[in-house]
Amino acid sequence: MRQVSGMGLSEQQVRFFETFGYLSFPGAFADEAEAISEEFERIWAERGGGHEGRVHDHKQRSAFVPFIDQSEYLSGLIDDPRIDGVASALLGDDYNYETSDGNFYVGDTRWHSDGFGRTKYRFLKFAFYLDPVTAASGCLRVIPGSHHRRDGYANALHDRMSTSRVDQTEDAFGVSGSEVPAVALETQPGDLIMFNQDLKHASYGGGTRRRMFTINVSERFDDEDLDTLRNDVASLVRFWAESAYGDAMVRTAGPDRTVHLEQRMANDDHLPALVAKAQEEMREPARG
């Protein structure tokens, strides 16, 4: 599903997304793939190469949040029509930039959603895989249509795939996670995938340093739902993030980008105290 130039969405693309819950854009960032990869590696190198300042051990996922916010170059992806155009088309021009995670994945990621129906608002994820990945080597797999809330099929799947922490498919269906009927979105560096965060997704067969980062966005919250927004912002606490965004993201923001930052920035003042408490209780920031 190509259409990259300007990255407005066609009527057919919108219908595909609404029906199946995802879109793929082969080659969308092909010209920038090398520069994006170099910046990804630079951010990790400045932080010891892996999780919480330690070298990536190839045994557990290394994660860092907020990720693109650490780089002026990657922060600029928010302004790029290839991201902004899609987000605006599906969420409205006043959408919120939620956060970004950078990862070295290890092995399989079991079936899950990123918070199925966690609020009444729509959340999208843009995924950049920085190495070639296939069905056999850890590409993203999705179950089309599994994002539909209040749908019997989607709800039945969620009952049996509610968390990636436990592999529930063997007990539920008698098959391994890799055998669940799904679409495998094989990618090359420079490709872009976007999906509804309610969509069931997974990855199987990956190596021990699978490079991937995300850009997450949502609809703007109504004023009467700001308590819900503050609770959502508090999901950053497990990553020990004391503010909604990193310095580079905020410092380089022009008026257009600020529209996508202002609501969450205005509702993140509770993070420092919550992070201080989390640091007393957690050995390290969350890995996902």
Domain boundaries, the chain: 5-221
* 1 has pLDDT over 50: no
Average pLDDT over residues 61-79: 99
Nearest-angstrom CA–CA distance, 233 and 274: 11
**What is the percent of the chain where pLDDT is above 70?**
97
Query: Do 101 and 67 form a contact (C-beta atoms < 8 A)?
Result: yes
Other beta carbons within 10 Å of 18? 12
Q: What is the model's pLDDT at position 163?
A: 73
Beta strands in the chain (DSSP E): 22-25, 62-64, 96-99, 102-105, 109-112, 123-129, 140-142, 183-185, 192-196, 201-203, 210-218
Nearest-angstrom CA–CA distance, 76 and 32: 12
pLDDT in tens, 125-169: 999 999 999 999 999 999 999 999 989 999 999 988 877 777 889
Q: How confident is the model at residue 6 (pLDDT cuts 50, 70, 90)?
A: low
Q: Mean pLDDT for the chain? A: 96
The 3-state secondary structure of 101-169 reads: CEEEECCCEEEECCCCCCCCCCEEEEEEECCCECCCCCCEEECCCCCCCCCHHHHHHHHHCCCCCCCCH
Query: Do 140 and 201 form a contact (C-beta atoms < 8 A)?
Result: yes
Which single residue is written with the structure tokens 């910046």? 39
Highest averaged pLDDT of the listed ranges 7-11, 15-19, 163-167: 15-19
What CATH class is the domain 5-221? mainly beta
Q: Which run of H or E residues covers position 85?
A: helix 81-91
Query: Do 270 and 230 form a contact (C-beta atoms < 8 A)?
Result: yes
Coil, strand or helix: which one is 287? coil
Nearest-angstrom CA–CA distance, 179 and 191: 25
Of the ranges 92-106, 107-121, 199-213, which one carries the lowest mean pLDDT score?
107-121
* 4 has pLDDT over 60: no
Give the predicted TM-score (pTM) of the model: 0.95
221 conformational bin, left if phi > 0, alpha if psi -120 to 50, beta if neither: beta
Coil, strand or helix: which one is 198? coil
Which single residue is written with the structure tokens 């580079």? 248
Neighbour-count burial of 73, counting CB atoms closer than 10 A to its CB (0-12 exposed, 13-18 middle, 19+ buried): middle
* 284 has pLDDT over 90: yes
